[in-house]
Structure 1
Amino acid sequence: MTAATEPTTLLDRYRARRVRRWLIREKQIAGMLPGWRTTPRRRALVVLVIVALTVLFITGLLCAFGLVWAALFAGLSALVFVPSWTMLRIVSQVQDNAPAETLDELEFAQRETARSFGLTVTQSLTVLPMMYLIWSGALFPEADAFRTAYAGGVMVLATVLAGGCAPAMVLAWNRSDVEPEN
């Protein structure tokens, strides 16, 4: 590399390293789960992630009403969420988190739109459990930690995860199937 093209600032070096790491990761996952890369299968994974996050949120809601046994559903939800989310990221080629330098103009625009949607989802959904946490602490200070902190924390976790997962889910849902090469 010449001195003119070599990254000079810390941010430039970070971006270059991120691109290198992403390209390596892209090669690693390129051949993984080939049967799951079709539109119907990707959409099934999106639905599975949504169901897992919904169950997680409902778990928090049930715990807010004092149903201690409902906390078991948080673990079951995680057992569904983690593998389905991992598979979804693999089959959608982690495009929601790709460095801008690795995307063409259309992919970049789609990613930015999906990220904007994810932020909107996060902000919109997280308001409800946050208000629960604020009001339950103010109106019912004698309530136990399980009904307030655990229940509210689980609901916040579900909504933050939903917003964070939304860009990949949108991209995976809307992405067309790759044409087979002849």
Structure 2
Amino acid sequence: MPEQTLFERYQRHRARRFLVRSEKTETMLPRWRTRSRRRILVVALGAVFALMLTIGVLCHFFERAPLLWLPACLVFFPIWISLSIVSGQLGDAPADALDEWEIQQRNAARPIGLSITQWLVMIPVAYLVVGSSLTDGGHTTMAYTGGLLTLTTLLIGGCSPTMILAWSRPDPYPDQSHPTTDNDRLEAP
């Protein structure tokens, strides 16, 4: 048997960790695993992102607006964690832990997330470049505004694959066991 590379060992470690985490979460939130409930979470997450973008824009005009960021994060985390659990965490799952159909779905969603990230990050970058050249760096809240807008656009792009998969995947069959609990995928020679 040829010696595994560092990357291969890391991928196998990620797959084992993913399977352990999947076994712990596969029974959580059973009523939220339907397509309609997952879509509710996707829409709620989209609303939180809109709120975060709004707070980022408000930071340009009001020095106290960053205080609104904490409540937005307190809403973001439970929705994101719930969506990740009910969607089976496929958006960031390692290939060794998935079957062929799941790999196809994940691989189809990831480039869309990357494109979303690239295009959305251009907005705060343009704001920072143009704004700093027009104000000669004199606007005191510009850096904070640009930082929050960049962070929000990166979150949107990073969450997009999971949101796409949660929105588009069909309802699981009632008698279907979670496919990632099959440890045989990691037993390959």
1:13 corresponds to which residue? Answer: 9
RMSD: 1.5
TM-score norm. by structure 2 comes to 0.88
> Which whole-Å CA distance do the structure 2 matches of 1:98 and 1:25 have between them?
11
Q: Secondary structure at the match of 2:4?
A: coil
Q: Whole-Å Cα distance in 1 between the matches of residues 134 and 117 of structure 2?
A: 26
Amino acid of the structure 2 residue aligned with 1:154:
L
Matches within 5 A, 1:88-99: 88-99=83-94
Percent identity between matched residues is: 41
Determine the C-alpha separation between the residues in 1 that align with 2:5 and 2:108: 29
Q: Which residue of 2 aligns with 1:33?
A: 29
Match of 2:108 in 1: 113
SS at match of 2:127: helix
Cα distance per residue 1:4-36 (max 9 Å; x no partner): 27x522112111111111111110111111111
Could you tell me which residue of structure 2 aligns to residue 104 of structure 1? 99
Task: Return the alpha-carbon distance in structure 2 between the equivalents of residues 173 and 28 of structure 1.
Answer: 23
Aligned residues of 1:49 and 1:85 also touching (Cα < 8 A): yes
Give the equivalent residue in structure 2 for 1:138.
Answer: 133
Instruction: State how far apart, in whole Å, the 2-side matches of 1:142 and 1:9 are.
Output: 48
Count of aligned positions:
176
Q: For residue 14 of structure 1, what is the amino acid of its counterpart?
A: Y
- Against the structure 1 CA distance between its residues 163 and 142, is the aligned structure 2 distance closer, same or farther, given a 3 Å change threshold? closer
Please tell me whether the aligned partners of residues 42 and 88 of structure 1 are also in contact (alpha carbons under 8 angstroms).
Answer: yes
Structure 1 unmatched ranges of 5 or more: none
Q: Is the 8 A contact 1:49 1:81 kept in 2?
A: yes
